[in-house]
Structure 1
Amino acid sequence: MALTPQWLDELRARTTLSAVIGRTLRLTKAGREYKACCPFHNEKSPSFYVNDEKGFYHCFGCEAHGDAIRWLTDQRGMPFMDAVKELAGEAGMEVPAPDPRAAERAEKRASLHDVTGAAQEWFAGNLTSPEGAQARAYLARRGFSDATIREFGFGFAPESKQALKGALSRFDESMLIESGMRISVEDKEPYDRFRNRLMLPIHDMRGRVIAFGGRVLDPEGKPKYLNSPDTPLFDKGRTLYNLHRAAPAARQTGRIIVVEGYMDAIALANAGIREAVAPLGTALTENQIELLWRQVERPILCFDGDNAGQRAAMRAIQRVLPMLRPAHSLSIVRLPSGMDPDDLIREKGASAIEELLSRPVSLLDTLWDFERMSAPLDTPEDKAGLKARLLDHVETIQHPDIRSLYKRELLERFSEFAFPSRPQREFAPRKTFRKGEWKQPAPALSPVAREQLTRAISGGSRDALARAVIAGLVRFPDQIHRHEHALHQFAMRDRNVGPAIDSLLEAAETLDLSAQSPISLAHGLPAPPEKAHFAFLDEGTDPGDAREDLAEAVSLLVERPALESALAEATARFDRDPEGSFAEQARLRERLLALNERLKQFGRRKAAAADETGS
């Protein structure tokens, strides 16, 4: 039997959220809610609220949001199923028996954890043996303290190809291979992956060893750094080195630092900067960026000051651009040329890197500077190439508002750069018109488009919100471009209003939107949908306020079907990945709860507007 959405809802209903959170956080009663200083970011006045009736917590400072399950997974670092079992035990509910295949996979993972844990104990013991003298000398040269060496679990892998097999003889050869500790080749005896290397364990969020990194000690040895392969325990694209230590530190400092490699993260920790993480031999992935955003809204990239470090920063920027959302971005610290964090600390002390971390550069500034310096800009063609590269980056941004703002800012910078002292051209005297003599014509549509819009607004969609949004865009056509991406998504999902939205999007390319006049329809603007009181359809509403209200309506219109679709997909994937599907379903249902709350608030605003107008 699976953990169905209905079963999880029952678990949440039987759980008093304030009691769960109150075990580790001091809550103060505030009306029907409880409040506290947020545990996810550093603050002096309470902005973290717990609502037992609605079953979720929310921080108005850092936007942390979730239910009892999310609290245990995020704040206490528990795996999803462990959190479910703990809450179910307290609620007197029996957890349904897992799928046999899922149980078999979980048992295998537990066994492989035994292998990696035993390997770590062996590597750490080797470091103190006579064979580990060269590794100890390397650590001494790096200036790592004994406390740092113990905390991060440094070890040593001897030269022999069969040493680990002998030390871990209690485990089957197949388990040693599956855990990544041994390499199997055809027609030859398997051999140890790590040999004559300084060893470093890689942990999951629970602090369990799941993989290893090894630094070569022979100056002629290759590669310099070697990581475990992907295994049932370890997915390098979903893992950040040191996150299990950095996350608690980040909650205190309000920042998390991304460096190029694990030795950089350890060097920062050795200098007292404990909130540093590192990817594992690859550029930052989407999954790793989401892991970072769960800690802070604006992680700091701190890559080496050489060309390779700058290219690594740009790869991260290109990966994050499509993912940008309000208040979530990256910032970048540029180290001096040719230096990594350890070099800077050795030469100028920890205060030098703290000074750099205190004034990071924004993602937009970094993007502009990188492209401006990446090629000569001596000719008009060169400058046109710069503009094209900047716009190519902008087009990858999925969020329509952020894409529009990036485009405006970068084009303004380009204009100032390309034409720094452009003289004013002389124009012939412009004909003037007296008041009322001339008026900007209102934008118009083709007859087919007008018919589609009129039908959609007057009842082509059963959804009053969809009809109201289309009517709002007819009233404020200058907002069509702003919401282009969101509208296109909704048009593909709703066949009733899809043609009307497509007409708007296509027509927006030819309409003169500078007039900010309503679109002309055959019989004038139709009446708003019956019983739908939206501020953006009220003639008396301030135009600026109306446009913002319309923007929220578009967001609400698009988000719910997208979330419901994602939830259906996660449910369908249950058989293939039960544990991952559980967690994903929980996150999506949590977002749906928040969305439903926004819809209720929007509805209350509509009702208030209706009362004020007497409708």
Structure 2
Amino acid sequence: DPERRRALVRAGLLVEKAHGRLYDRFRDRILFPIRDRRGRVVAFGGRVLDEGTPKYLNSPESPIFHKGRILYGLYEARQAHRRLDRVLVVEGYMDVVALAQHGIRNAVATLGTSTTTEHVEQLFRVTDEIVFCFDGDAAGRAAAWRAAENALPALRAPKQARFLFLPEGEDPDSRVRARGREGFLQDIEGALPFSDFFFRHLGEGTDLSTAEGRARLAALARPRIERIPPGPFREAMAARLAELTRLPARRTPRPGSRPRPRRQEGRTRPVREAIRLLLHHPFLARELAHPPPRDERLPGLPLLAELVDFIVQSPHLPSTGALLEHFREHPEGPALWKLAERPPKIPEGGELPEFLGFLSLIERELEARHLQERLAHLTARPPSSLSPEEAEELRTLLACQANIRTR
């Protein structure tokens, strides 16, 4: 049936190759159904059975599946608990499954993307507390910081977020098997409050006994605190900053007041800079849990994904020269050579956080573009024609649009 074949391709279950040949995207994999908040299956996650790669594979984005809005396990967590006092956010669906096997049924996972503001808003509609659980290595802490930054616009008292960092080399699956349910719950109770993680991260390498160090912390923290909605938590964060820096707290703008527009400086091009960084430090590709999307809405993003795939699949880590040689005949080959001429100016050891930061900016841009497309679709219809779910979605999207404008 040609129509059914086309539907399966659109849903991401089949992949169409050259000459119209089709193959099963999830062949030789254990499948995990991914449900939306109403329990409808909208995508699948697949874990490879042997030693093949990639180890985990999710459905591609489709008209019914958007990674920046879906959380694996949220529907099941709500079914297991009449009231969710707390939700634990982990990095993979196998962690959700392992925790559920040990009686911890309030865990959810993102699906190959950073935690977005929309994810946080979604969770705060069903719980008052989110605990983000990450590995304690550099990549885990970088992911935690992205989650913290994206959570800022959603932090309204009494809502709160905390951060649990596991010992290096452990994940929730291995940790709960080693310590059991009660031991893991004890770990959660010791999670860092948002404010502690926020100021520790921004204060790393800063000497607060000097005026320069205190000024640096204030310069880094103030614009981020201003992204928190006006209210008690924002005031408490501003007071904590004033205490740490010995500087007077800024007055909190009244709700509804509009900040003065700032003159726009030259904008960073995260795709270009991510490619430049990857050309000079190919090892970064092998630090990613998932490759970047091949989304043609952002120029250069398919090329970035192609570079990552080539490096990951190469038997030996290619050098900058080997990368340029491989892509010599590529349509973007000349552009790669031009980017390689100017190495990025990043301190040694700072390459991974910088690279992950660029990927976070890319995800935000894609999230904003998807939001605009969906908003255009919903606002083009008469309000009376929207279902209750679509009307709620429209309200959420409008709130997210306001949050994105403040970033």
Q: TM-score range by the shorter chain?
A: 0.5 to 0.7
Residues 246-265 of structure 1: matches in 2 within 5 Å? 246-252=77-83, 254-265=85-96
Partners of 1:570 and 1:581 within 8 A in 2: no
> Offset at 1:389?
1.8
Q: Distance in 2 between matches of 1:217 and 1:584?
A: 37
Q: Distance in 2 between matches of 1:285 and 1:372?
A: 24
Residues 352-431 of structure 1: matches in 2 within 5 Å? 352-373=183-204, 375=205, 377=207, 380=210, 381-399=212-230, 402-415=233-246
Report the CA distance shift for 1:228/1:575 in structure 2 as closer, same or farther (over 3 A).
farther
**Corresponding residue pairs, total:** 280
Q: Distance in 2 between matches of 1:216 and 1:587?
A: 35
Q: Distance in 2 between matches of 1:483 and 1:570?
A: 34
Which residue is 2:327 aligned to? Answer: none
Q: Distance in 2 between matches of 1:183 and 1:571?
A: 30
1:322-364, Cα deviation, whole Å (9 max, x unpaired): 2222312312222223311111122222221110222332111
Partners of 2:30 and 2:46 within 8 A in 1: yes
1:226 aligns with 2:35: no
Partners of 1:323 and 1:397 within 8 A in 2: yes
Which residue is 2:76 aligned to? Answer: 245
Letter in 2 for 1:357: I
Q: Distance in 2 between matches of 1:273 and 1:351?
A: 10
Partners of 2:84 and 2:127 within 8 A in 1: no
1:211 aligns with 2:18: no
Partners of 1:322 and 1:399 within 8 A in 2: no
Question: Where does structure 1 lack aligned partners over 5 or more consecutive residues?
Answer: 1-168, 417-479, 493-567, 589-615
Bigger Rg, which one: 1
Q: Distance in 2 between matches of 1:177 and 1:372?
A: 48
1:284 aligns with 2:284: no
The match for 1:582 among 375, 391, 396 is 391
Which residue is 1:190 aligned to? Answer: 22
Report the CA distance shift for 1:584/1:178 in structure 2 as closer, same or farther (over 3 A).
closer
Q: Distance in 1 between matches of 2:232 and 2:208?
A: 33
Partners of 1:199 and 1:214 within 8 A in 2: yes
Which residue is 1:497 aligned to? Answer: none
Which residue is 2:252 aligned to? Answer: 482
1:540-588, Cα deviation, whole Å (9 max, x unpaired): xxxxxxxxxxxxxxxxxxxxxxxxxxxx999844359934543357899
The match for 1:328 among 146, 150, 159 is 159
> Offset at 1:246?
0.4
Partners of 1:302 and 1:333 within 8 A in 2: yes
SS of structure 1 residue aligned to 2:169: coil
Q: Distance in 1 between matches of 2:49 and 2:79?
A: 33
Q: Distance in 2 between matches of 1:481 and 1:376?
A: 25
Partners of 2:206 and 2:217 within 8 A in 1: no
Partners of 1:207 and 1:244 within 8 A in 2: yes
Partners of 2:157 and 2:231 within 8 A in 1: no
SS of structure 1 residue aligned to 2:256: helix
Partners of 1:250 and 1:295 within 8 A in 2: no
Letter in 2 for 1:178: R
> Offset at 1:269?
0.2
Query: How high is the TM-score relative to the length of structure 2?
Result: 0.60
Letter in 2 for 1:574: R
SS of structure 2 residue aligned to 1:284: coil
SS of structure 2 residue aligned to 1:173: helix
Q: Distance in 2 between matches of 1:483 and 1:584?
A: 29
Report the CA distance shift for 1:218/1:569 in structure 2 as closer, same or farther (over 3 A).
closer
Which residue is 1:49 aligned to? Answer: none
Which residue is 1:173 aligned to? Answer: 5
Which residue is 2:307 aligned to? Answer: none
Q: Distance in 2 between matches of 1:586 and 1:369?
A: 35
Report the CA distance shift for 1:414/1:267 in structure 2 as closer, same or farther (over 3 A).
farther
> Offset at 1:295?
1.1
Report the CA distance shift for 1:581/1:207 in structure 2 as closer, same or farther (over 3 A).
closer
> Offset at 1:403?
3.1
Residues 35-54 of structure 1: matches in 2 within 5 Å? none
Q: Distance in 1 between matches of 2:378 and 2:202?
A: 43
Residues 520-535 of structure 1: matches in 2 within 5 Å? none
> Offset at 1:250?
4.2
Q: Distance in 2 between matches of 1:189 and 1:386?
A: 57
Question: Where does structure 2 lack aligned partners over 5 or more consecutive residues?
Answer: 262-374, 398-407
Identical-pair percentage: 36
Q: Distance in 1 between matches of 2:208 and 2:192?
A: 27
RMSD: 3.4
Q: Distance in 1 between matches of 2:58 and 2:378?
A: 34
